[in-house]
Structure 1
Amino acid sequence: MKNIIVVLCLFISTLTWSQTLRVVDVSTEIAPATSWLEVVDSGKYANSWQQAGAFFQKNVPQALWVSKLEQVRTPLGAVTSREGISRQVLTSIPQLPDGDYVILEFQTDFENKAQSIETVTLKKSAEQWQVIGYFIQ
């Protein structure tokens, strides 16, 4: 009986509330986010813009994106650790069309700044998750 309760608790804890209760495969959204972050980590800022979703590209010119990351991200130095700390599944975000969104937060330690929070927003488009937002605190 205890085993059944533990299994049910684990199952219930994997469900995500977003207007309706549904199960979401985390691996399908984590992989695009972390591979995109690796591009940013490597300093290939123009490539990160090219790999971002169409919404991101329409709203942030590539030259501005590269310039801002050079100002903000480059001085932080190399990533020494990154750990996922939160995940939100949404079907609507203010100012954006309805759709499937995921907001991931990572606690990231950089060479020159420990305990930063990176926020990556993804939108599902054509059955793929694409980055449409990035923020460092």
Structure 2
Amino acid sequence: MKNIIAVLCLFISTFTGAQTLKVVDVATEIAPATSWLEVIDSGKYANSWQQAGAFFQENVPQTLWVSKLQQVRTPLGAVQSRQGVSRQVLSSIPQLPDGEYVILEFQTDFANKAGSIETVTLKKSAQQWQVIGYFIQ
């Protein structure tokens, strides 16, 4: 009888373990991206550069970043809505070192242009997600 109980307990624990789902906390990626986008939304372009990851800062001079956002982002106007539409997890991106990357796409309606797509690329550094790329379509 003891053997049957031991086997049954082993079977139940094995079955339970097999059914365990891996929970992915996308908030750890989305929160840094949306916080960073809010800095841009408020027109604090220099601050967004300062909050970006080292790779971004090393490859895009702050003055260039600010001037490009003034040319491209400012005319779009205020954000009316922003909704995440895709998430892609990568371990490598061409011309970048291997690592942990996430590419997030948001459908954003601006006051002066509805249906835009914002793409934010994040890289995990020191257990934190940092923005290393941004693109508006």
TM-score class, shorter: 0.7 to 0.9
For 1:96, give the aligned amino acid. Answer: L
Query: Structure 1, unaligned stretches of length 5 or more?
Result: 1-7, 16-22
Counterpart in 2 of 1:85?
85
For 1:50, give the aligned amino acid. Answer: Q
Counterpart in 2 of 1:76?
76
Distance in 2, matches of 1:118 and 1:84, equals 9
| Structure (1 or 2) with the greater strand fraction | 1
| Structure 1 residue 25, shift from structure 2 partner | 2.0
SS at match of 2:134: strand
Counterpart in 1 of 2:42?
42
Distance in 2, matches of 1:133 and 1:66, equals 14
SS at match of 2:85: strand
For 1:124, give the aligned amino acid. Answer: K
Counterpart in 2 of 1:113?
113
Distance in 1, matches of 2:105 and 2:132, equals 14
For 1:77, give the aligned amino acid. Answer: G
| Structure 1 residue 24, shift from structure 2 partner | 3.5
For 2:89, give the aligned amino acid. Answer: V
Instruction: Show CA shifts across 1:34-73 (max 9, x none).
Output: 0000000000000000000000000000000000000000
Distance in 2, matches of 1:82 and 1:25, equals 20
Distance in 1, matches of 2:77 and 2:87, equals 25
Counterpart in 2 of 1:127?
127
Counterpart in 1 of 2:56?
56
* Structure 1: 4+ residue segments shifted above 6 A: none
SS at match of 2:28: helix
**What RMSD in Å do the two structures reach over aligned CA positions?**
1.2
Identity %: 86
For 2:120, give the aligned amino acid. Answer: V
Q: TM-score, normalised by structure 1?
A: 0.84
For 1:47, give the aligned amino acid. Answer: N
Distance in 1, matches of 2:128 and 2:48, equals 16
Larger Rg: 2
For 1:27, give the aligned amino acid. Answer: A
For 1:25, give the aligned amino acid. Answer: D
Distance in 1, matches of 2:66 and 2:129, equals 22
Q: TM-score, normalised by structure 2?
A: 0.84
